Structure formats: structure tokens, C-alpha cells
Chains A and B, each alone.
Chain A
């Protein structure tokens, strides 16, 4: 059963960016029990923009990997506004490797305006690390379920969205480029972001129509940190359902199905 909700593109973008919108750490409180955080990539450092750890959802132990933007200015700075660095993606790969080792399913929470760019990120090989992450998460021999809980910004978001099942929340977007970036490059006018947002087909409804999203998660009116139980319970139910569907005794079959699913998203017939 998939629910369709009509939404305007620009509203989705604005709502996805709201500062009081629940983020990964809020979901860890509401959705996950007994969360044990693991930190650091054992090479470059620890990146606050990606939170990884182990915890229970519906009684099952999951590896959880989520992007964190931060609510207060101080938090946001510490999290680099949710733009993960190579260290973040390396930490995520470490978590993915352990999930496979211990046979735990993985839950990814996507919420980033994009991967970090700048001198440090480039010097540490941001492109290389994202490429490795894409390849690595695609072939992990354990179920991967992803939820876009806020912004789905380009390749930095895609790294955590390669999954067996992808849910998107009602007021989110997932796009190849920010509407502002698209407007300034293609329309030579960054104020045309609203038009660009509509053209990019980035809303949950669009993503579902394109076959990218499997499910749209309903949000309560005034969805916020204090009002997220409704959505959390829907996500919990979906996770339970998906784990049943993804329970293959042969893990190679699981990977094969994931490969087929991703390879079939080609845009034409």
C-alpha cells in the first residue's frame, strides 16, 4: 500500500530545510532503543555530520547511519551544516562493514544539503570516498533500508540512499543539484530557484512516480521535534514489513535483488 500526497516542489524544499525539523539524533531518541554510538573513521578523525551506531528498532538490532545538520548555530557549525566530509563517509563504511560482519540490517537516515566541498574535502579525496561508499553499500550482504528525513542533496545523499527499500518523508526532496544551483547555472538567475525546483522533479510524489521511492511517510500537521510520533510509528511499521520481505537465507540473492532494483531505475524503457 503506497499513499500518494500531492505537494509543491518549492514547499518541499523549504520544509525539508526547516531548522526545527526532526534530524537523525531526534530519530535516535524516538525510533531507536538502547543506542550505542560509534565514532571515528580510524584514519582522518570523527565527523559530526554523520552519526553511526548500533541500537534496537522493534527489538531487532540495527546499524544506524544518519546525517545530522544540528539545530542550534553551535551544533550546526559542529556538524558542518550536515555536509559530511571524507571522514564521515569513511566512518559510515566502517559501520557498514560491521553490520555485515554481525549480520545486522542497516537503517540510513538521509538529511544533507550535499557532501562537503572545499579545500579539506578535496584534499582528502571526497570524490574517491563517495565512489567507494556507493560501491560498498551497494554490495553489503545485509538488508539496507533508507529514509529521506530532510534534504536529499545530490551525491552526498545518494551514498546513504542506495538501499533495498527507500522511504521519503512527505515534506522532503531529493535532487541532483540544489534548486538554487540549478537556477544559477541553467537560468543564470538564482532567484528562479522555485521554477528550477519544479523542473527538477524532486518531490516525494515525483520520486515515487519515477520508481525511486518505495513509500511516502505521512507527516502530522506541524510536524516537529515535539510532534513526530505519528511518522515514527509509520516508519517502524514499514521497517518491520520490509525486514520480512528482505529475509533471504542466501545473502547473495539479497544483493542481486538490490542490484536489479538499482539497475532498473534507468529513466527509460
Chain B
């Protein structure tokens, strides 16, 4: 670790080389490249950094095997909700994405699959018409091509600026995945921090296999909502992956470094 610190020091003296660094919640600063090499996990405290959607694909899919689908779908602001268009614009800038999910097909260790990854940097990964539609289209494509589907969830829930249209994405995604299930195809849901609200109450919990990253917040109503509405006292571990595993709500907690292997194993057992 000393060595890493020195490395950062040296790099700071040569700003022209433009070395990217990240600062963890534990206060330590480290090279972005090092964090990447360590599966986006802090090399000091093990904290899990948020993984942008495309980076997640790089970590999971075989090199060059990912083909993105429906990349250009954009929210139409169906209710003409106040300030929503502006918020969408900001979200696009902040996340460098067009919506809170990217979808496509890829291979994992040579096994074909459909893959969707939500990104919390885009309006907290909230689900509106486009997130729902992209999942429906991907499920449809997987059905035609006889592919299993993997969805990485990260969401604050339904996107309220789209009102009932966003709520209906719960039923739409649920039905799209029902149809996939009728074809005998596998659906693996991977819950990442945080997965809450309407996403938890629909496709996130519909997987044949449900995996979770360590220490992720997974809830229907998050701790803040519970505090505001019923003011229950909540235990420390409440609504974490570890708690849900104990309560029988998920199948396994998988470290980031093992995720690709675990997914490959599941895919190969359901061919």
C-alpha cells in the first residue's frame, strides 16, 4: 500500500500526464486504473464504487462481444411534467448516457446472453417509459433468439415525473419477463446498491436466480421513507444484501471479482 501512495505522490508532481484518481468514502485517494483492476473496489477498505453501466459491461462481457440495442430511445416527457425536460438534460450530461439503462446482447465465457445494466447516475436509475420499454424489447429479442437474460438493477424506483406511465412499467416488464419464462429461458437478476421501490416490486425480484452485491441496499420502501411514514426503529443490517440472504429473499451474495464466473456457471447450468 505504501508503494501505491508513493505512486500517487509522484504522479501529482507531473500533472501534465493527466492521471485520473478516485477518492473513497474512507478518505483515501487512489489511481482510477488501480480501482478498475481491483473490480471497482477500494484497495484500502473494500468499499464498492458505483459502476457506470458501460464499465459494468466491460467487467462482465467477453471482450468485444457486446452489441447495444435501442441506444437512441429517449423519454418523450409523456405528462409534460414541470422541470422534467431540464432534469433529463442534466442527467444526460452528468451520466453521459441517454437513459438510466443500457441493453444489448453479449457473451460471457462464450455463452450467449441478453444483458441490461441500470445506471444510478441517470436520475437515480429511476424507471420511466424508456427503461421499461428497453427491458421489454430486450426480453422480446432474447425470446426470439433463445437467449437467457441478465439484468443488473440499480434504481431509486419509479420515475415520478412520468406518473402512471412509469408505474405501468412495473407491469410491462413483469409481463415481458413472463413471456420469456414461458419459453423456458433463464432470467438472472443482479441487485446492486441501491435497488428500491417499483423496481424491487417488479422485475428485480422476478429472477429465477437473484444475486446481490455485498452490502447493497435492497428495499421496497427505503429507510428514509419508513422513517417518515411509520417511524419504525430499524436494525443496523436491515435491508442489506446480507439481511435479505438470511431472510431467504435472494440466492447469493457475490463479490465483484467472482461475479463473471458465477454468472457463467449459472448460464452453463441452464442451457
Judge if B32 is at the interface, Cβ distance under 8 Å: no
Nearest CB of chain A from residue B13's CB, rounded to whole Å: 45
A80 to B160, CA, bound (A): 25
A263 to B78, CA, bound (A): 16
Complex: A182 Cα to B163 Cα, angstroms: 10
> Would you call B45 an interface residue if the criterion is a C-beta within 8 Å of the partner chain's C-beta atoms?
no
Q: Is A121 touching B221 in the complex (CB atoms < 8 A)?
A: yes
Interface residues of B toward A: which range? 35 or more
**A121 contacts B202, CB within 8 Å?**
no
Interface flag for B172 (CB, 8 Å): yes
Out of B160, B161, B168, B238, name the residue touching A262 (CB < 8 Å): B168
**With a CB–CB cut-off of 8 A, which chain B residues contact A259?**
175, 178-179
Which A residues are in CB contact (< 8 Å) with B133? 266, 268
A174–B164 CB distance below 8 A = yes
Secondary structure type dominating chain A contacts: helix
Which of under 10, 10 to 19, 20 to 34, or 35 or more describes the interface residues of A?
Answer: 35 or more
A117-B220, A121-B221, A199-B79 known; A139 vs B167 contact (CB < 8 Å): no
Q: Is the CB of B167 within 8 A of A155?
A: yes
B232 to chain A, nearest CB (A): 4
Q: Which residues of A contact B171 (CB under 8 A)?
A: 134, 138, 158, 162, 262
Q: Are B201 and A130 in contact (CB under 8 A)?
A: yes
Q: Cβ of A176 and Cβ of B160 under 8 Å apart?
A: yes
Assess the B174–A138 pair: CB atoms within 8 A. Answer: yes
User: How many angstroms from the CA of A138 to the CA of B176 in the assembled complex?
Assistant: 11
Q: Does A126 reach chain B (CB closer than 8 Å)?
A: yes
B151 within 8 A of A: no
The listed residue with most A CB atoms (<10 A of its CB), out of B136, B175, B238, is: B175
A135 touches B174 (CB 8 A): yes
Q: Which of B22-30, B96-104, B203-211, B263-271 contacts A (4 or more CB under 8 A)?
A: B203-211
Contact, CB under 8 Å: A158 / B247? no
Residue B198 is within 8 A (CB to CB) of chain A in the complex:
yes
Which partner residue on chain B sits nearest A157 by CB separation?
B167
Residue A268 contacts which of B78, B158, B178, B204 (CB distance < 8 angstroms)? Answer: B78
B47-55, B107-115, B222-230 - the one binding chain A: B222-230
Question: A122-B238, A175-B164, A177-B160 given as contacts; is B202 within 8 A of A134 (CB)?
Answer: yes
A268 pairs with B129, CB closer than 8 A: yes
Asked whether A139 lies within 8 Å of B178 as measured between CB atoms, the reply is: yes
The reply to whether B225 and A117 contact each other, CB–CB distance below 8 Å, is yes
Chain A nearest CB: distance from B184 CB in Å?
15
Q: Does the CB pair B163–A201 fall under 8 Å?
A: yes
Q: Mark B170-213, 1 if CB is under 8 A from A, else 0.
A: 11101111110000000000000000011011111110000000
Say yes or no for B82: interface residue by CB 8 A criterion. yes
Q: How far is the CA of A121 from the CA of B179 in the complex (A)?
A: 29
Residues A267 and B76 in contact, CB atoms below 8 Å apart: yes
Chain B residues with Cβ below 8 Å from A132 are 205-206
In the complex formed, the residue of A with least CB distance to B233 is A119
**A176 in contact with B239 (CB, 8 Å):** no
Query: Does A38 interact with chain B (Cβ within 8 Å)?
Result: no
> Cβ of B164 and Cβ of A115 under 8 Å apart?
no
Is B78 touching A267 in the complex (CB atoms < 8 A)?
A: yes
B249 is an interface residue with CB less than 8 A from chain A: yes
Q: Is the CB of A265 within 8 A of B168?
A: yes
Task: Given A131-B174, A132-B205, verify A182-B234 contact (CB < 8 Å).
Answer: no
Is A125 a contact partner of B249 (Cβ separation < 8 A)? yes
B165 within 8 A of A: yes
Q: A176-B162, A176-B167 are in contact. List 12 more A-B contacts (CB 8 A).
A: A122-B220, A122-B238, A127-B201, A128-B200, A130-B201, A135-B177, A186-B83, A200-B163, A212-B164, A263-B172, A266-B168, A267-B76
* 29 A–B pairs (Cβ distance < 8 Å), ordered by A: A115-B220, A117-B226, A118-B229, A118-B232, A119-B226, A119-B233, A121-B220, A122-B221, A122-B226, A122-B238, A127-B204, A127-B218, A131-B205, A131-B206, A134-B174, A135-B178, A135-B206, A158-B167, A175-B167, A176-B164, A177-B160, A202-B163, A210-B78, A259-B175, A262-B171, A262-B172, A266-B129, A266-B168, A268-B76
A-side residues, CB < 8 A to B, are 115, 117-119, 121-123, 125-128, 130-132, 134-135, 138-139, 154-155, 158, 162, 174-177, 182, 185-186, 199-202, 206-207, 210, 212, 259, 262-263, 265-268
